[in-house]
């Protein structure tokens, strides 16, 4: 993202930057573990339906508001509806981004640590001592701190575009590595059970939790619901086709997630692991897979390097949300506020870092009912911020765009850059004004009904 309101250098530059935010641990870490916890293929199918039916049209709505107003989320809302309470939706986005960054940074720290673990843990398969790795507070907190500091330094210096240039080269590499791993994992004995789990839906496994998890994951993975794509949209020129760009971003993002599953699930069944292992799933399965491969140390290190970069482009965009809000709206110095926000995020994330076995209280936290998510603090944060508040924010923003600003205005903004949207415009307006708000509202309200929280 850029510090001044310039326009993107190229159309591809914009698509790649937005994809950089979208593609991250959400695809490679969160998608497999949530799929595993929710019984596999039926979840995947519901997730894909939500991505196309709700995620894609909603992403276009965020882009449209951003491009029409050329402002950050709070500024954009103020411009459309000055002096109204809607500006608090922007504030909700700030809170949510801090909550997400806190647990996301913990996992990004693991990813970073596993670069070295893959390289140097030659004796025992790295997988055998995941619990050792993770219950070691120095590592957990140290690695988490390093990742937050690196993110903050980049946002502080405003050198995001440098990282984005790198990620343009490195992300295709990640995809190539994925393809090699898919082939390798699917040649292992018993891997076909994994494919069955992952691709043959068994709808008897679909419960209420599956549906909320799929909805949350769809928005989370596409970086929607915080107004981040409003900010991205504010930099796109009128000639960029919002519809086609969003379609590319959504497809890239879904493909990376689907590929990650094609590695994890076959490997998991071949190696006799449990799909419902929770947040540690990919950190248990993948090192074990690497340890069986020729030159597995290097494959593993390469994999975790590329994944760390993917995570970094996402943490940068998450930290940008509160920082640019405070800079634009509160007139504080960018350089100072970056460190305050980063420090605050770090503190908020400490319980998550200690929740995978280190501290019993955080490991068995369980404030939210087990019908929604696992008991450890990290899973609870991931559900509360990454599923619940995120979709709630998306619901409000969607109502704002569809009804307050007006879906017709938004549709007209999308039309500016291309006729190919005209056949879909009616459907799009219906999705934004009616279908998305109704589906999301029904799901959110039923959380309270079904779980008895009130």
Per CB under 6 A, 50 contacts ligand TRP: no
Contact 391, 216 (CB under 8 A): yes
Contacting residue, 72, 240, 317, 382, with ligand TRP by CB under 6 A: 317
Closer Cβ to ligand TRP, 100 or 397, answer by number: 100
Per CB under 6 A, 22 contacts ligand TRP: yes
Closer Cβ to ligand TRP, 34 or 271, answer by number: 34
Instruction: Write each residue from 209 to 248 as x if it is in contact with ligand TRP (CB under 6 A), else as -, in one continuous string.
Output: -----------xx-x-xx-x--------------------
Phi-psi region of 406 (alpha: psi -120 to 50; beta: other; left: phi over 0): left
Contacting residue, 19, 27, 234, 373, with ligand TRP by CB under 6 A: 27
- The span of 21-29, 37-45, 183-191, 405-413 binding ligand TRP (CB under 6 A) equals 21-29
Closer Cβ to ligand TRP, 28 or 289, answer by number: 28
DSSP class of residue 422 equals G
Least Å distance, CB 221 to ligand TRP, is 4
Please provide the distance, in angstroms rounded to a whole number, between the alpha carbons at the two ends of the chain.
Answer: 40
- The span of 24-32, 329-337, 396-404, 425-433 binding ligand TRP (CB under 6 A) equals 24-32
Closer Cβ to ligand TRP, 59 or 228, answer by number: 228
- The span of 16-24, 170-178, 296-304, 399-407 binding ligand TRP (CB under 6 A) equals 16-24
φ and ψ at residue 333, rounded to 5 degrees: -75, 130
Class of residue 435 by CB neighbours under 10 A (exposed 0-12, middle 13-18, buried 19+): middle
Instruction: Write each residue from 387 to 416 as x if it is in contact with ligand TRP (CB under 6 A), else as -, in one continuous string.
Output: ---x--------------------------
d(CA 209, CA 370): 10
Closer Cβ to ligand TRP, 24 or 233, answer by number: 24
Task: Annotate 309-336 with DSSP letters as a single string.
Answer: HHHHHHHHHHHHHHHHHHHHHH---HHH
Closer Cβ to ligand TRP, 93 or 411, answer by number: 93
Per CB under 6 A, 380 contacts ligand TRP: no
Contacting residue, 20, 24, 194, 351, with ligand TRP by CB under 6 A: 24
Least Å distance, CB 320 to ligand TRP, is 9
Cβ neighbours of 367 (radius 10 Å): 9
Cβ neighbours of 451 (radius 10 Å): 15
Q: Residue holding tokens 């490991």?
A: 363
Contacting residue, 314, 352, 391, 417, with ligand TRP by CB under 6 A: 314
Burial 79-105 (b: 16+ CB within 10 A, else e): ebeeeeebbebbebbbebbbbbbbbbb
d(CA 183, CA 80): 51
Contacting residue, 299, 318, 397, 398, with ligand TRP by CB under 6 A: 318
Per CB under 6 A, 15 contacts ligand TRP: no
Q: Cα separations (Å) of 403 from 349, 373, 417?
A: 36, 33, 23
Class of residue 77 by CB neighbours under 10 A (exposed 0-12, middle 13-18, buried 19+): buried
Near ligand TRP in 92-111, by CB under 6 A: 100
Total binding residues toward ligand TRP, as defined by CB under 6 A? 17
Contact 66, 229 (CB under 8 A): yes
Least Å distance, CB 97 to ligand TRP, is 6
Closer Cβ to ligand TRP, 219 or 428, answer by number: 219
Least Å distance, CB 260 to ligand TRP, is 11
Secondary structure class of 366 (helix, strand, coil):
coil
Cβ neighbours of 360 (radius 10 Å): 10
- The span of 32-40, 44-52, 66-74, 313-321 binding ligand TRP (CB under 6 A) equals 313-321
Secondary structure class of 383 (helix, strand, coil):
helix
Point out the residue whose Cβ comes nearest to ligand TRP.
26
Least Å distance, CB 104 to ligand TRP, is 7
- The span of 8-16, 22-30, 132-140, 324-332 binding ligand TRP (CB under 6 A) equals 22-30
Burial 278-307 (b: 16+ CB within 10 A, else e): bbbbbbbbbbbbbbeeeebbebbbbbbbbb
Q: Which residues bind ligand TRP (CB under 6 A)?
A: 21-22, 24-27, 100, 220-221, 223, 225-226, 228, 314, 317-318, 390
């Amino acid at each position: 993202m850029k510090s001044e309101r310039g326009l993107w250098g190229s159309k591809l530059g914009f698509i790649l930057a937005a994809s950089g935010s979208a593609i991250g641990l959400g695809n490679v870490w969160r998608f497999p573990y949530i799929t595993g916890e929710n019984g596999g293929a039926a979840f995947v199918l519901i997730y894909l339906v939500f991505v196309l039916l709700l995620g894609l049209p909603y992403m276009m709505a965020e882009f449209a508001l951003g491009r029409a107003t050329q402002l950050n989320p709070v500024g954009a809302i103020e411009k459309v509806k000055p002096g109204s309470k809607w500006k608090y939706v922007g504030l909700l986005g700030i809170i949510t981004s801090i909550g997400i960054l806190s647990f996301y940074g913990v996992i990004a720290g693991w990813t970073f640590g596993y670069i070295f673990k893959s390289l140097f843990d030659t004796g025992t398969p790295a997988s055998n001592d995941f619990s050792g790795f993770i219950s070691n507070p120095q590592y957990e907190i140290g690695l988490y701190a390093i990742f937050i500091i690196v993110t903050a330094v980049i946002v502080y210096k405003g050198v995001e575009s440098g990282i984005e240039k790198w990620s343009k080269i490195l992300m295709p590499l990640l995809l190539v590595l994925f393809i090699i791993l898919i082939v390798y994992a699917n040649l292992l004995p018993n891997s076909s059970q994994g494919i069955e789990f992952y691709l043959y839906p068994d709808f008897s496994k679909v419960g209420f939790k599956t549906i909320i998890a799929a909805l949350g994951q769809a928005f989370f993975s596409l970086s929607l619901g915080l107004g981040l794509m409003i900010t991205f949209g504010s930099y796109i020129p009128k000639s960029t086709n919002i519809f086609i760009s969003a379609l590319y971003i959504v497809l890239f993002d879904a493909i990376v997630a689907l590929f990650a599953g094609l590695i994890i699930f076959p490997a998991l069944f071949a190696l006799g692991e449990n799909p419902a292992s929770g947040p540690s799933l990919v950190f248990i399965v993948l090192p074990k897979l690497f340890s069986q491969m020729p030159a597995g140390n290097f494959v593993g290190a390469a994999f975790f390097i590329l994944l760390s970069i993917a995570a970094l482009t996402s943490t940068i965009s998450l930290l940008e949300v509160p920082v640019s809000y405070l800079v634009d709206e509160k007139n504080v110095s960018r350089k100072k506020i970056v460190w305050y926000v980063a420090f605050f995020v770090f503190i908020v994330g400490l319980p998550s870092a200690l929740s995978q076995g280190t501290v019993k209280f955080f490991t068995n936290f369980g404030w939210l009912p087990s019908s929604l998510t696992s008991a450890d603090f990290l899973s609870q944060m991931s559900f509360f911020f990454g599923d619940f508040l995120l979709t709630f924010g998306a619901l409000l923003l969607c109502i704002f765009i569809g009804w307050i600003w007006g879906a017709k205005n938004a549709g007209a903004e999308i039309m500016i850059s291309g006729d190919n949207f005209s056949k879909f415009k009616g459907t799009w307006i219906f999705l934004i004004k009616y279908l998305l708000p109704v589906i999301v509202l029904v799901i959110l309200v039923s959380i309270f009904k079904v779980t008895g929280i009130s």
